[in-house]
Structure 1
Amino acid sequence: MDELMTKTLKAWRFLYRRGFIEGFGHISARLPDDRFMITRHSLGMNAKPEDFVVMDFEGNKLEGAGDPPGEFPIHLEVLSARPDVNSVIHYHGMYSTSFTTSGQLLRPIHLMGTLFHDGIPVYHDPRLVSDRKRGATLAQALGSHRAVLMCAHGATITGASVEEAVASAFLFEENAHRACISATLGTPQWIDDETAADAGAELIRTRGPFRRVWALVEAEDEDEQVRNA
Protein backbone atom coordinates (compact mmCIF):
# COMPACT_ATOMS: atom_id res chain seq x y z
CA MET A 1 0.00 0.00 0.00
CA ASP A 2 2.93 2.34 0.64
CA GLU A 3 3.96 2.39 -3.02
CA LEU A 4 0.37 2.95 -4.15
CA MET A 5 -0.04 5.76 -1.62
CA THR A 6 3.16 7.45 -2.83
CA LYS A 7 1.98 7.32 -6.43
CA THR A 8 -1.50 8.60 -5.56
CA LEU A 9 -0.07 11.53 -3.58
CA LYS A 10 2.14 12.46 -6.53
CA ALA A 11 -0.85 12.25 -8.86
CA TRP A 12 -2.92 14.44 -6.52
CA ARG A 13 -0.23 17.14 -6.33
CA PHE A 14 0.24 17.07 -10.11
CA LEU A 15 -3.47 17.55 -10.75
CA TYR A 16 -3.75 20.23 -8.08
CA ARG A 17 -0.78 22.26 -9.39
CA ARG A 18 -2.30 22.24 -12.85
CA GLY A 19 -5.71 23.46 -11.72
CA PHE A 20 -7.63 20.24 -12.25
CA ILE A 21 -8.73 19.86 -8.66
CA GLU A 22 -8.95 23.35 -7.13
CA GLY A 23 -10.54 22.06 -3.94
CA PHE A 24 -13.41 20.21 -5.63
CA GLY A 25 -12.10 17.03 -7.24
CA HIS A 26 -10.94 13.71 -5.85
CA ILE A 27 -8.93 10.63 -6.75
CA SER A 28 -9.34 7.03 -5.64
CA ALA A 29 -7.38 3.81 -5.91
CA ARG A 30 -8.52 0.22 -5.45
CA LEU A 31 -7.06 -1.70 -2.52
CA PRO A 32 -7.02 -5.47 -1.87
CA ASP A 33 -9.86 -7.16 0.00
CA ASP A 34 -12.74 -5.16 -1.47
CA ARG A 35 -11.64 -1.74 -0.29
CA PHE A 36 -10.60 1.53 -1.91
CA MET A 37 -8.90 4.69 -0.71
CA ILE A 38 -10.03 8.18 -1.65
CA THR A 39 -8.89 11.71 -0.88
CA ARG A 40 -10.86 13.20 1.98
CA HIS A 41 -13.32 16.09 1.69
CA SER A 42 -11.86 19.60 1.11
CA LEU A 43 -8.26 18.49 0.68
CA GLY A 44 -5.57 20.99 -0.33
CA MET A 45 -2.47 20.33 -2.41
CA ASN A 46 -0.13 19.35 0.44
CA ALA A 47 -1.80 16.03 1.11
CA LYS A 48 -0.43 13.37 3.43
CA PRO A 49 -1.22 9.64 3.72
CA GLU A 50 -3.57 10.32 6.62
CA ASP A 51 -5.64 12.55 4.32
CA PHE A 52 -6.91 9.45 2.52
CA VAL A 53 -10.04 7.68 3.69
CA VAL A 54 -10.34 3.91 3.26
CA MET A 55 -13.83 2.66 2.42
CA ASP A 56 -15.54 -0.61 1.63
CA PHE A 57 -17.92 -1.23 -1.25
CA GLU A 58 -20.93 -0.82 0.99
CA GLY A 59 -19.99 2.83 1.44
CA ASN A 60 -18.62 2.46 4.98
CA LYS A 61 -15.59 4.45 6.11
CA LEU A 62 -13.04 2.05 7.60
CA GLU A 63 -9.95 4.20 8.20
CA GLY A 64 -8.61 7.72 7.91
CA ALA A 65 -9.11 11.19 9.34
CA GLY A 66 -11.90 13.42 8.12
CA ASP A 67 -14.87 12.65 5.94
CA PRO A 68 -14.97 11.15 2.45
CA PRO A 69 -16.02 13.56 -0.30
CA GLY A 70 -19.77 13.83 -0.80
CA GLU A 71 -19.44 12.33 -4.28
CA PHE A 72 -17.62 9.18 -3.18
CA PRO A 73 -20.43 7.14 -4.85
CA ILE A 74 -18.80 8.04 -8.19
CA HIS A 75 -15.75 6.01 -7.20
CA LEU A 76 -17.60 3.27 -5.36
CA GLU A 77 -19.96 2.50 -8.23
CA VAL A 78 -17.42 2.83 -11.06
CA LEU A 79 -14.92 0.58 -9.26
CA SER A 80 -17.72 -1.88 -8.50
CA ALA A 81 -18.91 -1.99 -12.11
CA ARG A 82 -15.47 -2.07 -13.73
CA PRO A 83 -13.03 -4.70 -12.39
CA ASP A 84 -10.55 -3.50 -15.03
CA VAL A 85 -10.44 -0.05 -13.40
CA ASN A 86 -8.15 0.49 -10.41
CA SER A 87 -8.18 4.28 -10.18
CA VAL A 88 -10.85 6.94 -10.73
CA ILE A 89 -10.48 10.72 -10.99
CA HIS A 90 -13.34 13.20 -10.82
CA TYR A 91 -12.66 16.85 -11.61
CA HIS A 92 -14.40 19.95 -12.98
CA GLY A 93 -12.54 20.63 -16.23
CA MET A 94 -13.19 24.05 -17.72
CA TYR A 95 -12.66 22.97 -21.32
CA SER A 96 -14.09 19.46 -21.28
CA THR A 97 -17.22 20.47 -19.36
CA SER A 98 -17.95 23.23 -21.89
CA PHE A 99 -18.80 20.49 -24.39
CA THR A 100 -21.78 19.51 -22.27
CA THR A 101 -23.21 23.05 -22.38
CA SER A 102 -22.51 24.07 -25.98
CA GLY A 103 -24.33 21.59 -28.17
CA GLN A 104 -20.94 20.37 -29.44
CA LEU A 105 -19.90 16.72 -29.12
CA LEU A 106 -16.34 16.26 -27.84
CA ARG A 107 -14.29 13.99 -30.08
CA PRO A 108 -10.56 13.40 -30.74
CA ILE A 109 -9.05 16.45 -32.38
CA HIS A 110 -5.43 15.75 -31.47
CA LEU A 111 -3.30 12.62 -31.60
CA MET A 112 -3.38 12.10 -27.84
CA GLY A 113 -7.13 12.58 -27.87
CA THR A 114 -7.42 9.37 -29.87
CA LEU A 115 -7.00 7.52 -26.58
CA PHE A 116 -10.75 8.23 -26.31
CA HIS A 117 -11.55 7.05 -29.84
CA ASP A 118 -14.28 4.65 -28.71
CA GLY A 119 -16.49 7.53 -27.66
CA ILE A 120 -17.02 9.99 -24.83
CA PRO A 121 -20.46 9.44 -23.33
CA VAL A 122 -22.35 12.10 -21.36
CA TYR A 123 -24.12 11.63 -18.06
CA HIS A 124 -27.00 14.10 -18.32
CA ASP A 125 -27.82 14.85 -14.67
CA PRO A 126 -25.91 17.96 -13.45
CA ARG A 127 -26.61 17.30 -9.76
CA LEU A 128 -23.98 16.06 -7.33
CA VAL A 129 -23.50 12.31 -7.46
CA SER A 130 -24.21 12.07 -3.77
CA ASP A 131 -25.92 8.69 -3.50
CA ARG A 132 -25.40 5.20 -4.83
CA LYS A 133 -28.33 5.36 -7.25
CA ARG A 134 -26.80 8.33 -9.08
CA GLY A 135 -23.38 6.70 -8.88
CA ALA A 136 -24.73 3.55 -10.51
CA THR A 137 -26.40 5.59 -13.25
CA LEU A 138 -23.12 7.40 -13.89
CA ALA A 139 -21.25 4.08 -14.05
CA GLN A 140 -23.85 2.83 -16.53
CA ALA A 141 -23.32 5.94 -18.69
CA LEU A 142 -19.55 5.37 -18.57
CA GLY A 143 -19.98 1.78 -19.69
CA SER A 144 -16.73 0.35 -21.04
CA HIS A 145 -15.30 3.77 -21.94
CA ARG A 146 -12.24 5.47 -20.46
CA ALA A 147 -14.05 8.73 -19.60
CA VAL A 148 -17.53 10.13 -19.14
CA LEU A 149 -18.55 13.79 -19.23
CA MET A 150 -21.02 15.00 -16.62
CA CYS A 151 -23.41 17.60 -17.97
CA ALA A 152 -22.74 21.13 -16.60
CA HIS A 153 -20.59 19.53 -13.91
CA GLY A 154 -17.31 17.88 -14.80
CA ALA A 155 -15.73 14.62 -15.90
CA THR A 156 -14.91 11.20 -14.49
CA ILE A 157 -11.78 9.50 -15.81
CA THR A 158 -10.66 5.91 -15.24
CA GLY A 159 -7.45 3.96 -15.46
CA ALA A 160 -6.09 0.48 -14.88
CA SER A 161 -3.57 2.18 -12.57
CA VAL A 162 -3.05 5.54 -10.91
CA GLU A 163 -0.47 6.37 -13.57
CA GLU A 164 -2.91 5.61 -16.36
CA ALA A 165 -5.76 7.53 -14.74
CA VAL A 166 -3.75 10.72 -14.20
CA ALA A 167 -2.31 10.57 -17.72
CA SER A 168 -5.78 10.03 -19.15
CA ALA A 169 -7.18 13.02 -17.23
CA PHE A 170 -4.30 15.22 -18.39
CA LEU A 171 -4.65 14.19 -22.04
CA PHE A 172 -8.46 14.30 -21.96
CA GLU A 173 -8.44 17.92 -20.84
CA GLU A 174 -5.67 18.80 -23.29
CA ASN A 175 -7.74 17.40 -26.18
CA ALA A 176 -10.75 19.44 -25.02
CA HIS A 177 -8.61 22.58 -24.74
CA ARG A 178 -7.33 22.16 -28.29
CA ALA A 179 -10.89 21.59 -29.50
CA CYS A 180 -12.05 24.81 -27.83
CA ILE A 181 -9.23 26.76 -29.49
CA SER A 182 -10.14 25.25 -32.87
CA ALA A 183 -13.77 26.25 -32.37
CA THR A 184 -12.77 29.89 -31.83
CA LEU A 185 -10.81 29.85 -35.09
CA GLY A 186 -13.51 28.22 -37.20
CA THR A 187 -15.02 24.77 -37.53
CA PRO A 188 -13.20 22.09 -35.51
CA GLN A 189 -11.55 19.51 -37.74
CA TRP A 190 -12.11 16.29 -35.83
CA ILE A 191 -9.97 13.23 -36.57
CA ASP A 192 -12.09 10.79 -38.54
CA ASP A 193 -13.31 7.69 -36.71
CA GLU A 194 -11.19 5.16 -38.59
CA THR A 195 -7.96 7.10 -38.16
CA ALA A 196 -8.75 7.83 -34.51
CA ALA A 197 -9.39 4.15 -33.79
CA ASP A 198 -6.14 3.09 -35.45
CA ALA A 199 -4.05 5.81 -33.80
CA GLY A 200 -5.64 5.29 -30.40
CA ALA A 201 -5.12 1.54 -30.48
CA GLU A 202 -1.46 2.09 -31.30
CA LEU A 203 -0.99 4.53 -28.40
CA ILE A 204 -2.69 2.16 -25.97
CA ARG A 205 -0.61 -0.77 -27.22
CA THR A 206 2.72 1.06 -26.79
CA ARG A 207 1.66 2.76 -23.53
CA GLY A 208 3.82 5.72 -24.58
CA PRO A 209 1.45 8.54 -23.53
CA PHE A 210 0.92 7.04 -20.07
CA ARG A 211 4.66 6.66 -19.48
CA ARG A 212 5.40 10.16 -20.75
CA VAL A 213 2.84 11.90 -18.57
CA TRP A 214 3.89 9.91 -15.54
CA ALA A 215 7.52 10.91 -16.17
CA LEU A 216 6.28 14.52 -16.05
CA VAL A 217 4.49 13.79 -12.76
CA GLU A 218 7.70 12.36 -11.29
CA ALA A 219 9.89 15.21 -12.57
CA GLU A 220 7.59 17.94 -11.25
CA ASP A 221 7.32 16.22 -7.88
CA GLU A 222 11.10 15.87 -7.60
CA ASP A 223 11.56 19.55 -8.46
CA GLU A 224 9.03 20.50 -5.80
CA GLN A 225 10.78 18.40 -3.17
CA VAL A 226 14.08 20.10 -4.00
CA ARG A 227 12.54 23.56 -3.72
CA ASN A 228 10.99 22.69 -0.36
CA ALA A 229 14.16 21.11 1.05
Structure 2
Amino acid sequence: MLIDHFPVYGIRVRTPRLELRLPAPEELAELAELAMDGIHGPDLMPFGTPWSELPPADRARRVMQRHWRTLAELKADAWALNLVVFLDGRPVGVQEIEADDFAIQRQVTSESWLGLRHQGRGIGTEMRAAMLHLAFAGLGADEAVSVGYMDNHASLRVSRKLGYAENGTSRGISRGKLALEQRFRLSREAWEQHRTVEATIEGLEPCLPLLGAEAAA
Protein backbone atom coordinates (compact mmCIF):
# COMPACT_ATOMS: atom_id res chain seq x y z
CA MET A 1 0.00 0.00 0.00
CA LEU A 2 1.05 3.58 -0.63
CA ILE A 3 1.05 4.42 3.08
CA ASP A 4 3.59 1.64 3.75
CA HIS A 5 6.18 3.40 1.58
CA PHE A 6 5.12 7.02 2.15
CA PRO A 7 3.56 7.15 5.62
CA VAL A 8 2.85 10.90 5.56
CA TYR A 9 -0.36 9.93 3.78
CA GLY A 10 -1.54 8.55 7.11
CA ILE A 11 -1.22 11.80 9.06
CA ARG A 12 -4.53 13.17 10.35
CA VAL A 13 -4.85 16.30 12.47
CA ARG A 14 -8.40 16.93 13.69
CA THR A 15 -10.06 19.86 15.47
CA PRO A 16 -13.74 20.28 16.35
CA ARG A 17 -14.56 21.33 12.77
CA LEU A 18 -11.59 20.46 10.59
CA GLU A 19 -9.39 17.64 9.39
CA LEU A 20 -5.92 18.31 7.96
CA ARG A 21 -4.33 15.61 5.78
CA LEU A 22 -2.89 14.90 2.36
CA PRO A 23 -5.57 14.57 -0.33
CA ALA A 24 -6.52 11.72 -2.61
CA PRO A 25 -6.18 12.59 -6.35
CA GLU A 26 -9.82 13.58 -6.82
CA GLU A 27 -9.73 15.64 -3.64
CA LEU A 28 -6.68 17.47 -4.99
CA ALA A 29 -8.66 18.21 -8.15
CA GLU A 30 -11.50 19.61 -6.03
CA LEU A 31 -9.00 21.78 -4.15
CA ALA A 32 -7.66 23.10 -7.46
CA GLU A 33 -11.19 23.97 -8.55
CA LEU A 34 -11.70 25.83 -5.27
CA ALA A 35 -8.63 27.94 -6.06
CA MET A 36 -10.17 28.79 -9.43
CA ASP A 37 -13.02 30.52 -7.58
CA GLY A 38 -10.66 32.94 -5.84
CA ILE A 39 -8.49 33.20 -2.72
CA HIS A 40 -8.49 36.93 -1.99
CA GLY A 41 -9.89 40.21 -3.24
CA PRO A 42 -8.19 42.36 -5.90
CA ASP A 43 -6.87 44.84 -3.33
CA LEU A 44 -4.69 42.25 -1.54
CA MET A 45 -1.72 40.10 -2.52
CA PRO A 46 -0.64 37.88 0.40
CA PHE A 47 1.97 35.88 -1.54
CA GLY A 48 5.47 36.84 -2.64
CA THR A 49 4.87 34.97 -5.89
CA PRO A 50 1.48 36.18 -7.18
CA TRP A 51 0.27 32.76 -8.30
CA SER A 52 -3.23 33.54 -7.05
CA GLU A 53 -3.64 36.06 -9.89
CA LEU A 54 -2.94 33.56 -12.63
CA PRO A 55 -5.83 32.75 -14.99
CA PRO A 56 -8.16 30.26 -13.25
CA ALA A 57 -7.02 27.17 -15.17
CA ASP A 58 -3.34 28.01 -14.62
CA ARG A 59 -4.04 28.70 -10.95
CA ALA A 60 -5.62 25.27 -10.53
CA ARG A 61 -2.69 23.58 -12.24
CA ARG A 62 -0.24 25.45 -10.02
CA VAL A 63 -1.99 24.20 -6.87
CA MET A 64 -1.63 20.62 -8.07
CA GLN A 65 1.97 21.02 -9.21
CA ARG A 66 3.05 22.57 -5.91
CA HIS A 67 1.44 19.72 -4.02
CA TRP A 68 3.25 17.09 -6.08
CA ARG A 69 6.56 18.98 -5.98
CA THR A 70 6.64 19.28 -2.19
CA LEU A 71 5.94 15.57 -1.83
CA ALA A 72 8.61 14.65 -4.36
CA GLU A 73 11.22 16.81 -2.61
CA LEU A 74 10.45 15.68 0.96
CA LYS A 75 13.54 14.60 2.90
CA ALA A 76 14.48 14.63 6.57
CA ASP A 77 16.59 17.80 6.43
CA ALA A 78 14.21 19.85 4.24
CA TRP A 79 10.50 19.14 4.02
CA ALA A 80 7.10 20.68 3.54
CA LEU A 81 3.67 19.16 4.00
CA ASN A 82 0.85 20.82 2.08
CA LEU A 83 -1.93 19.59 4.31
CA VAL A 84 -5.35 20.11 2.81
CA VAL A 85 -7.99 21.47 5.17
CA PHE A 86 -11.29 19.60 5.07
CA LEU A 87 -14.58 20.92 6.45
CA ASP A 88 -17.49 18.47 6.41
CA GLY A 89 -15.40 16.24 4.14
CA ARG A 90 -14.77 18.90 1.48
CA PRO A 91 -11.50 20.79 0.87
CA VAL A 92 -11.59 24.46 1.87
CA GLY A 93 -7.90 25.42 1.76
CA VAL A 94 -4.30 24.47 2.50
CA GLN A 95 -2.24 24.71 5.67
CA GLU A 96 1.41 24.13 4.94
CA ILE A 97 4.03 23.30 7.56
CA GLU A 98 7.69 23.20 6.60
CA ALA A 99 11.13 22.96 8.17
CA ASP A 100 14.82 22.84 7.33
CA ASP A 101 17.16 20.77 9.49
CA PHE A 102 14.36 20.19 11.97
CA ALA A 103 16.39 17.67 13.96
CA ILE A 104 18.76 20.51 14.89
CA GLN A 105 16.70 23.70 14.73
CA ARG A 106 13.34 22.42 16.04
CA GLN A 107 11.66 25.27 14.17
CA VAL A 108 8.77 25.25 11.70
CA THR A 109 7.40 27.86 9.33
CA SER A 110 3.99 27.93 7.72
CA GLU A 111 1.97 29.22 4.81
CA SER A 112 -1.71 28.86 4.09
CA TRP A 113 -4.61 29.83 1.91
CA LEU A 114 -8.35 29.55 2.28
CA GLY A 115 -10.97 29.62 -0.44
CA LEU A 116 -12.60 33.04 -0.60
CA ARG A 117 -16.09 31.73 0.06
CA HIS A 118 -14.94 30.06 3.30
CA GLN A 119 -13.33 33.14 4.83
CA GLY A 120 -14.70 35.10 7.78
CA ARG A 121 -15.76 32.00 9.75
CA GLY A 122 -12.71 31.47 11.98
CA ILE A 123 -11.42 28.61 9.84
CA GLY A 124 -8.07 30.31 9.26
CA THR A 125 -7.41 30.47 12.99
CA GLU A 126 -8.52 26.89 13.59
CA MET A 127 -6.39 25.42 10.81
CA ARG A 128 -3.29 27.31 12.00
CA ALA A 129 -3.98 26.07 15.53
CA ALA A 130 -4.14 22.52 14.16
CA MET A 131 -0.78 23.00 12.44
CA LEU A 132 0.75 24.30 15.67
CA HIS A 133 -0.54 21.28 17.57
CA LEU A 134 1.15 19.05 15.01
CA ALA A 135 4.39 21.05 15.36
CA PHE A 136 4.60 21.29 19.13
CA ALA A 137 2.66 18.30 20.47
CA GLY A 138 3.46 15.95 17.61
CA LEU A 139 6.93 16.81 16.33
CA GLY A 140 8.41 18.37 19.46
CA ALA A 141 9.15 21.78 17.91
CA ASP A 142 10.68 24.50 20.07
CA GLU A 143 9.27 27.39 18.05
CA ALA A 144 7.19 28.37 15.05
CA VAL A 145 7.76 31.45 12.92
CA SER A 146 5.53 33.32 10.52
CA VAL A 147 5.80 36.29 8.18
CA GLY A 148 2.96 38.38 6.79
CA TYR A 149 2.72 41.54 4.71
CA MET A 150 1.65 44.54 6.75
CA ASP A 151 -1.57 44.93 4.77
CA ASN A 152 -2.58 41.28 5.26
CA HIS A 153 -4.56 42.11 8.37
CA ALA A 154 -6.38 38.77 8.60
CA SER A 155 -3.11 36.80 8.71
CA LEU A 156 -1.55 39.15 11.26
CA ARG A 157 -4.66 38.85 13.46
CA VAL A 158 -4.42 35.06 13.43
CA SER A 159 -0.77 35.18 14.49
CA ARG A 160 -1.46 37.55 17.37
CA LYS A 161 -4.53 35.60 18.50
CA LEU A 162 -2.53 32.38 18.72
CA GLY A 163 0.21 33.95 20.85
CA TYR A 164 2.92 34.78 18.32
CA ALA A 165 5.14 37.69 19.38
CA GLU A 166 6.28 40.34 16.92
CA ASN A 167 9.87 39.64 15.95
CA GLY A 168 10.91 42.60 13.82
CA THR A 169 10.13 43.65 10.27
CA SER A 170 11.68 42.90 6.92
CA ARG A 171 11.49 44.19 3.37
CA GLY A 172 9.76 42.04 0.80
CA ILE A 173 8.36 42.42 -2.70
CA SER A 174 4.70 42.22 -3.69
CA ARG A 175 3.50 42.70 -7.25
CA GLY A 176 6.94 44.02 -8.17
CA LYS A 177 6.97 46.70 -5.46
CA LEU A 178 8.49 47.05 -2.01
CA ALA A 179 6.24 45.60 0.68
CA LEU A 180 7.04 45.65 4.39
CA GLU A 181 6.61 42.39 6.28
CA GLN A 182 5.85 41.70 9.92
CA ARG A 183 7.79 38.79 11.37
CA PHE A 184 6.47 36.67 14.24
CA ARG A 185 7.86 34.03 16.60
CA LEU A 186 5.90 31.60 18.77
CA SER A 187 7.73 29.74 21.52
CA ARG A 188 6.54 26.45 22.97
CA GLU A 189 5.72 28.24 26.24
CA ALA A 190 3.60 30.88 24.47
CA TRP A 191 1.81 28.18 22.47
CA GLU A 192 0.90 26.34 25.67
CA GLN A 193 -0.40 29.55 27.24
CA HIS A 194 -2.58 30.57 24.27
CA ARG A 195 -3.88 27.25 22.95
CA THR A 196 -7.68 27.16 22.98
CA VAL A 197 -8.42 24.77 20.08
CA GLU A 198 -8.59 21.09 20.95
CA ALA A 199 -6.74 18.90 18.43
CA THR A 200 -5.75 15.28 17.96
CA ILE A 201 -3.09 13.65 15.79
CA GLU A 202 -3.19 10.25 14.13
CA GLY A 203 -0.63 8.38 12.04
CA LEU A 204 2.39 10.51 12.89
CA GLU A 205 4.76 8.02 14.52
CA PRO A 206 5.84 6.22 11.30
CA CYS A 207 6.60 9.61 9.74
CA LEU A 208 9.00 10.90 12.38
CA PRO A 209 12.20 9.68 10.66
CA LEU A 210 11.05 11.25 7.37
CA LEU A 211 10.62 14.60 9.12
CA GLY A 212 13.84 14.61 11.12
CA ALA A 213 11.86 14.29 14.33
CA GLU A 214 12.80 10.86 15.68
CA ALA A 215 14.23 12.32 18.86
CA ALA A 216 10.89 14.01 19.56
CA ALA A 217 8.94 10.75 19.56
Going by fraction, where is strand more abundant, 1 or 2?
Answer: 2
Higher relative contact order (CA 8 A, sep 6+): 2
Going by fraction, where is helix more abundant, 1 or 2?
Answer: 1
TM-score by length of 1: 0.27
TM-score by length of 2: 0.28
